[in-house]
Amino acid sequence: MRFLRKRYHEPGTAPGTLSAPESASTGPVSVTVIDYDASHLEEKQCSSLEEALAYRETPRTTWINIDGIHDVTMIQRIGEHFGLHPLSLEDVLNTGQRPKLEDYETFQFVVMKQLQWQGHIAAEQLSLFLGPRFVITFQERPGDVFDPVRDRLRKGKGRIRKMGSDYLAYALLDALVDEFFPILEKFGERIEDLEERVLEDPARETLEEVRDVKRDLLLLRRAAWPTREVINGLSREGSSLVRKETRVFLRDCYDHTIQIMDMIETFRDLTAGMLETYLSSVSNRMNEIMKVLTIMAAIFIPLTFIAGIYGMNFNSQRSPWNMPELDWYWGYPFAIFLMISTVVAMLVYFRRKKWL
């Protein structure tokens, strides 16, 4: 079976011609550059693409970050300047990609999902190009999780300024992976709250929230599962762009992805258990209601019988079986006493049977 790959080609255009996706933002494209080595760092917000491309010739490590992918001409020029393959540039524009790693010999192309918690899970595609002495990242919109990496670069903390572009790529990927943990912590708190509500008040709204959590966890799983394979692929030997010293850190990042997958699977099991608990709680609640109604019906059946017999007001001079209220002064009080006694006797019986 032959699978056709989705490309952003306008009708009548030749293959390899790029066009922006319909969902792309139309705001201004932001290009920032951080050029550094162990003793020097330069950070610049570029007003033109030429300013960013000029750093290609420096002997230092260069990180170019582009916020916005709707300027196709800019993306093509970056690809031509750094020798990026047209197919990888098409994947930058195709924001429906799953996390993956592709090796083009002269550079490595990584697609990741950048997740952020904004009261809900906000997901976007991050495309990363790793080459000798450069890292290029494309984001769909401004705002990312890389501020800790920028701070480490500015302050020269740790070994990041002393290492090359492969370690920078690791630091960026590690920041993406670490962002899973605060999101999962939010889900842990949300699941605990839902568990209490499912047991105490299994309302319809609670069921809808449980379903929302289940869908969000599925989204997290779809992002985390291939991310694990991407990190594992980078940590394996086979590319000259990733040094042996960096692979040790990538393996640690891979362990984090394993931990994330374990947490997601645990939360999914808890969510599935909550659905079962919800159904059991609703069933038990219905059983309690039916028990109360059955007891009330059982109590009123003999009372109805007494009232029915007692209401047959026959009066015959020839029959000695006339109704008590016709000839007896205490007839009605006796009937009421008989009904109350019947109710009390039945309640005592139900209590001894532990039906109440």
Which of 109-118, 216-225, 267-276 is predicted least confidently? 267-276
How many other CB atoms sit within 10 Å of the CB of residue 239? 17
How far is the C-alpha of 256 from the C-alpha of 173, rounded, in Å? 11
The Cβ-side half-sphere exposure at 349, using a 13 Å CA radius, reads 9
Q: Which band of pLDDT confidence, cut at 50, 70 and 90, is reported for residue 158?
A: confident
Task: State residue 126's pLDDT score.
Answer: 93
Q: Which band of pLDDT confidence, cut at 50, 70 and 90, is reported for residue 294?
A: confident
For residue 50, is it within any domain?
A: yes
Task: For strands 30-36 and 61-67, give the pairing.
Answer: antiparallel
- Residue at a domain's end among 107, 127, 160: 160
Of the candidates 257, 215, 6, 228, the residue with the CA atom closest to the CA atom of residue 101: 228
Q: Are 17 and 9 in contact (CB under 8 A)?
A: yes
- Mean pLDDT for the stretch of residues 208-234: 89
Helix axes 86-93, 72-82, angle to 10 degrees: 150
How far is the C-alpha of 333 from the C-alpha of 338, rounded, in Å? 9
Task: State residue 149's pLDDT score.
Answer: 93
Q: Are residues 187 and 93 in the same domain?
A: no
Pair of tokens at residue 247: 């692979």
For residue 172, is it within any domain?
A: no
Does position 9 have pLDDT exceeding 50, yes or no? no
Could you tell me the CATH number of the domain that includes residue 89? 3.30.460.20
For 338-351, how does the pLDDT look when each residue is reduced to its tens digit (9 = 90+)? 888 888 888 888 88
Asked whether the CA dihedral 336, 340, 346, 350 is positive or negative, the reply is positive
Classify 272 as helix, strand or coil: helix
Higher pLDDT, residue 179 or 29 = 179
For residue 166, is it within any domain?
A: no
Distances (CA, A) of 4 to 1, 23, 112: 10, 21, 22
**Ranges 130-134, 155-159, 304-308, most confident:** 130-134
Q: Are 136 and 128 in contact (CB under 8 A)?
A: yes
Q: Which band of pLDDT confidence, cut at 50, 70 and 90, is reported for residue 6?
A: very low
Task: State residue 13's pLDDT score.
Answer: 45
Q: Are residues 151 and 218 in the same domain?
A: no
pLDDT cut 70: percent of the chain above it = 87
Q: Are residues 123 and 252 in the same domain?
A: no
Does position 321 have pLDDT exceeding 70, yes or no? no
Q: Could you tell me the residue range of the domain that residue 280 belongs to?
A: 179-289
Q: Are residues 198 and 229 in the same domain?
A: yes
What are the backbone angles phi and psi of residue 330, rounded to the nearest 5°?
-95, 20
Pair of tokens at residue 332: 């009605």
Q: Which band of pLDDT confidence, cut at 50, 70 and 90, is reported for residue 306?
A: confident
How far is the C-alpha of 319 from the C-alpha of 300, rounded, in Å? 30
Q: Are residues 141 and 253 in the same domain?
A: no
Q: Are residues 217 and 264 in the same domain?
A: yes
Q: Which band of pLDDT confidence, cut at 50, 70 and 90, is reported for residue 319?
A: low
* β-bridge mates for residue 102, sequence order: 109
Q: Are residues 92 and 8 in the same domain?
A: yes
Alpha-helical segments (H) within 311-330: 324-327
Q: Are residues 15 and 114 in the same domain?
A: yes
- Residue at a domain's end among 111, 130, 160: 160
